[in-house]
Amino acid sequence: MKLSIAIASLAAAAAQAHYTFPSIGNSADWQYVRTTTNFQSNGPVTDVNSEQFRCYERNPGTSAPGIYSVAAGSTVAYNAKASISHPGPMAVYIAKVPAGQTAATWDGKGRVWSKIYQDRPTLGNTMTWPSNGVRSINVQIPRCLQNGDYLLRAEHVALHSAGSVGGAQYYISCAQITVTGGSGTYSPKNLVSFPGAYSATDPGVLINIYYPIPKSYTPPGPPVETC
């Protein structure tokens, strides 16, 4: 009985250490963000080759209720439920919805994603991560985007157990947005697909962040695109 209680307590503590990304701006949870598989468990994706690695959708093909309007060049908050409690990099990707579809109908498949935000650690006696402990990430929407619908993909890579293959944990969600006031000159040079963009052995994914303390760090995926 005591062992069962101890195991249950450990499981509860692990769940409390996890998190989701359920909202953008000042909106309600899952109003503009597609409900993720971990909406109750808070658990991560660990397989970079899984279809879940794209948007971690609980019910693929089921959109969020709304599409969030944002002006190109403005900053939008992508919010975590519970703070980001594991060490690791935060990234945000964007993908233009093709003609004939909307942010509520498109699945985001293909080599269509570009990175618009990436943080990096401060290196020293420890690795200090700017996203650690925060509840939202402020992301600037490129001013040069074409007007129209997009999917906005938040991704936090937790590296506390990343010393072995498959140990990295990914916390992911996709928001449905429409962009207005863009210049239309955005021309990303490094489009990627999900799955496909990462390997389980990428140096920013397979890494011991505790000992010896790394002297450098390269986040997974492409570089950040600029206008």
Query: Which amino acid does the sequence have at 5?
Result: I
CATH number at residue 168: 2.70.50.70
Does a structural domain hold residue 140? yes
Does a structural domain hold residue 48? yes
Q: Residue 83: which residues within 8 A CB-CB, separation 6 or more?
A: 19, 133, 134, 135
Q: With 80 as the cut, is the pLDDT of residue 37 above it? A: yes
- On whether the CB atoms of residues 92 and 153 are closer than 8 A, the answer is yes
Q: What residue numbers bound the domain in which 81 lies?
A: 2-180
Does a structural domain hold residue 196? no
- The span from the CA of 111 to the CA of 178, in Å, is 20
Decide: pTM greater than 0.85: yes
Residues 157-182: tens digit of each pLDDT: 999 999 999 999 999 999 999 999 99
- On whether the CB atoms of residues 94 and 174 are closer than 8 A, the answer is no
pLDDT at 27: 98
Residues 46-96: tens digit of each pLDDT: 999 999 999 999 999 899 999 999 999 999 999 999 899 999 999 999 999
User: How many CB atoms within 10 Å of residue 112?
Assistant: 20
**How many structural domains does the chain have?**
1
Does a structural domain hold residue 118? yes
Does a structural domain hold residue 190? no
